[in-house]
Amino acid sequence: MIQRKQTIYLILSLLAFILLFVFPFANFQLGTEVTCNISILKIQNMEYFTKLNYMFVIMQVLVTLFLSLTGVAIFMYKKRPLQIRLCAFAFITNILMIGAMFLTGNRIETEMKLAENMPVNYLLPAYIPLFTLLLIVMAQRAIRKDEVMVQSLNRLR
């Protein structure tokens, strides 16, 4: 049901995570002219860098898992305990995604042996998972409030 505020929170987190497929979350300089962007899918402008391909696969799996968990949670509005568990799993997936993103940036920095004056710069999309963590927590709280309200109404009957 769209009118419930937890559904709005889940949809916003879903849309925010889709942005990770569109925008790079970090970049770094190679030399003076070439800027390499790191996205969930690959390192742009560096197609032959294959040492960290497994990290991109892990990030893609985590993003897909998060999107599917929140997408299913949106439509499980009649089964609130299941919806709460799906939000908890989405929260854990989101934390793993944050770790994978920053680990990838760190690994690229060490693998490429970038100079100290040219570190990996994290862009605004790198902080999208932190925003979605907040949205997932807010959705989970709203779902719990609904569950408590329904249980109290059942006691009155």
Domain count, the chain: 1
Measured from the Cβ of residue 31, the count of other Cβ atoms closer than 10 Å reads: 7
Per-residue pLDDT of 64-117, as tens digits, reads 999 999 999 888 888 888 999 999 999 999 999 999 888 888 887 777 765 566
Per-residue pLDDT of 84-96, as tens digits, reads 999 999 999 999 9
CA-to-CA distance for 41 and 39, rounded, in angstroms?
5
Q: Please check whether residue 132 lies inside any domain of the structure.
A: yes
User: Which secondary structure element, helix H or strand E, spans residue 138, and what is its range?
Assistant: helix 128-156
Please give the full DSSP string across 93-132, using - where no structure is assigned: HHHHHHHHHHHHHHHHHHHHT--TTS-PEE-GGGGHHHHH
Predicted confidence at residue 132, as pLDDT, reads: 93
Three-class SS of residue 36? Answer: strand
| CA-to-CA separations, 60 to 7, 27, 96, 100, in angstroms, rounded | 24, 18, 12, 10
Confidence of residue 4 (pLDDT cuts 50, 70, 90): confident
Q: Please check whether residue 118 lies inside any domain of the structure.
A: no
In total, the chain counts a number of residues equal to 157
Q: Please check whether residue 131 lies inside any domain of the structure.
A: yes
Per-residue pLDDT of 22-58, as tens digits, reads 888 888 777 777 777 788 877 776 655 656 678 888 8
Among left, alpha and beta (phi > 0; psi -120 to 50; other), residue 119 is beta
pTM, whole model, 2 decimals?
Answer: 0.83
Q: Please check whether residue 38 lies inside any domain of the structure.
A: no
Domain that holds residue 94: 5-22+52-113+124-152
